[in-house]
Amino acid sequence: MNFYLTEEQQLIRDTARRIAREVVAPRAPELDDTGIYPEDIFQVYKETGLLGLGFPEELGGSGAGIFGLALAIEEIAKVDNACALILLLTRLSTSAILKAGTEEQKRKYCAGTARGELRGAFGLTEPGAGSDSANIATRAVRKGDEYILTGTKCYISGASVADFFLVAAKTDPRAGSRGFSVFIVDRDTPGFRVGREDRKMGVHGVPTCELIFEEARVPAHNLVGRENEGFKLIMWNLNSVRPCVAARGVGTAEGAIQYAVDYARQRQTFGQPLIEHQAIQMMIAEVAMHIEASRLLTYQAALLVDEGKADREHAHFLSMAKAFATETAVEACDKALQIMGGLGYMHESLTERFYRDARQLTIVEGTSQVQRLIIARAVKDNLLNWY
């Protein structure tokens, strides 16, 4: 695969890098302290076209695909993970619609998201169903021209500001994973409300909330794809954004270790800069290798998604990128904090915030353990063609 960036891709990267440094970085500490969604930064994304990167031109996007979106996310994540998540949510809430939605659904929700007129969120996780997504309890029952949804979702990123929600529910509770369906739920749907906002460890700038369905009346035309065929659609949706989660990991790792390297150049210990000590150099080199490997896995995964290969046959490549890059982010933040010592542990340090934010990455959109199960299955089934 050729990972040399085109002129258009370089422009995307450079634009996102400028926004990260000039707009996001100065606001990041305040967002972490207050937990208030950065409406001003969202508007900058809208004005510069970053919200439309993951969408085709006919739906108001730039046609840059998941690859272009991942490039932008990586740059933003170098300075703040919450603001990188805002970009990721553009596809987390719409990939299933792009795959199986009606033309009307695509024009309304995908084009609306690309233009910054709508914001979406993804409702899968429940109090009793996380990695075991087939165990969801939210029910959807067809009544005439509507589906009646009952249940609760939890830890839903961006729910407090979302205009619509991509929601998984059971339409046939006896059929296991074959009894899933996917719905678009508008915020003003009767019987639906966004519940309490969670207090969490990091990524404070994008609140997470409950979604509560109390006999919510969803129009039947808001069904995405076919009834009872939603499980594969949900997996496609998750697979499609795993390169973007990986990009958050790459950017986080880069930002954290670069911050520590800059500090180590200035900090004097035992008569020389800290960075001249071999023990510190070994830590930096280890992380640098993992960052570059993570980037290659991430770019490969993004290209596969853009080629329409976010399916079971290629899922292991997406899982490799997601698991390796996000674990590299945690490793990089841990080593950066160790390099900086006591200062790195202080709240005013960028490293402290990065460390808290990074711990989200190995959990969301499929834990590292789930990714390893997918990879192991591929090895067992000889999908990697090693022999």
Among the candidates 201, 228, 255, a domain finishes at 228
> Residues 50, 101: one domain?
yes
Which CATH number is 315's domain given? 1.20.140.10
Which CATH number is 64's domain given? 1.10.540.10
The mean pLDDT value of the chain amounts to 96
Buried b (16+ CB within 10 A) or exposed e, 20-33: beebbbebbeebbe
Q: For residue 135, how many C-alpha atoms fall within 13 Å in the half-sphere facing its CB?
A: 8
Number of Cβ atoms within 10 Å of the Cβ of 9: 17
Nearest to 352 by CA among 361, 343, 339, 362: 343
Buried b (16+ CB within 10 A) or exposed e, 101-133: beeebbebbbbbbbbbebbbbbbbbbeebbeeb
* Amino acid letter, 127: P
> Residues 158, 51: one domain?
no
> Residues 68, 104: one domain?
yes
pLDDT digits (tens, 9 = 90+) for 87-96: 999 999 999 9
Enter the tokens of residue 296.
Answer: 């290659």
Nearest to 370 by CA among 242, 180, 233: 242
Among the candidates 228, 260, 291, a domain finishes at 228
Beta strands in the chain (DSSP E): 120-123, 139-143, 146-157, 164-170, 180-186, 192-197, 208-219, 223-224, 268-269, 272-273
Q: Which domain holds residue 198?
A: 120-228
Asked if 150 and 138 count as a contact pair (C-beta separation under 8 A), the reply is yes
Secondary structure element (H or E) that encloses residue 350, with its range: helix 350-361
pLDDT digits (tens, 9 = 90+) for 112-134: 999 999 999 999 999 988 777 77
pLDDT of residue 377 exceeding 80, the answer is yes
CA-CA distance, 357 to 335, in Å (whole number)?
A: 15
Enter the tokens of residue 194.
Answer: 């966004």
For tokens 């170098």, what's the residue? 78
Which CATH number is 180's domain given? 2.40.110.10
Task: Flag whether 387 is in a domain.
Answer: no
> Residues 360, 241: one domain?
yes
> Residues 246, 326: one domain?
yes
DSSP three-state, residue 198: coil
DSSP three-state, residue 170: strand
Interacting residues of 91 by C-beta distance below 8 A, sequence separation 6+: 54, 66, 69, 240, 241, 244
Task: Flag whether 1 is in a domain.
Answer: no
pLDDT of residue 3 exceeding 80, the answer is no
> Residues 183, 203: one domain?
yes
Count the domains in the chain.
3
Residues facing residue 140 across a β-bridge: 149
> Residues 242, 375: one domain?
yes
Among the candidates 81, 99, 115, a domain finishes at 115
Q: Which long-range CB contacts under 8 A does 264-272 form with residues at least 24 apart?
A: 264/339, 264/340
Number of Cβ atoms within 10 Å of the Cβ of 98: 19
- Out of 75, 126, 146, 365, which one is annotated catalytic? 365
Task: Flag whether 2 is in a domain.
Answer: no
Nearest to 180 by CA among 216, 226, 125, 132: 226
pLDDT digits (tens, 9 = 90+) for 300-341: 999 999 999 999 899 999 999 999 999 999 999 999 999 999
DSSP string covering 102-128, please?
A: -HHHIIIIIHHHHTTS--EEEE--BTT
> Residues 282, 371: one domain?
yes
365 tagged catalytic: yes
Task: Flag whether 386 is in a domain.
Answer: no
> Residues 267, 332: one domain?
yes
Low-confidence winner among 29-33, 128-132, 167-171, 237-241 (lowest mean pLDDT): 128-132
Burial class (CB in 10 A: 0-12, 13-18, 19+), 312: middle
Tell me phi and psi for residue 26, to 5 degrees.
-65, -25
Nearest to 177 by CA among 133, 127, 124, 236: 133
CA-CA distance, 194 to 240, in Å (whole number)?
A: 26
Residue 128 confidence (pLDDT) = 87
Residue 98 confidence (pLDDT) = 98
Asked if 204 and 30 count as a contact pair (C-beta separation under 8 A), the reply is no
> Residues 296, 201: one domain?
no
Task: Flag whether 337 is in a domain.
Answer: yes
Secondary structure element (H or E) that encloses residue 96, with its range: helix 95-100
Using 50, 70 and 90 to split pLDDT, how confident is the model at 106?
A: very high
Residue 2 confidence (pLDDT) = 62
> Residues 237, 371: one domain?
yes
> Residues 243, 184: one domain?
no
pLDDT of residue 383 exceeding 90, the answer is no
Interacting residues of 52 by C-beta distance below 8 A, sequence separation 6+: 60, 61, 62, 90, 114, 115, 116
Task: Flag whether 176 is in a domain.
Answer: yes
Number of Cβ atoms within 10 Å of the Cβ of 52: 26
Pairing status of strand 120-123 against strand 164-170: parallel
Predicted TM-score (pTM) of the model is 0.95
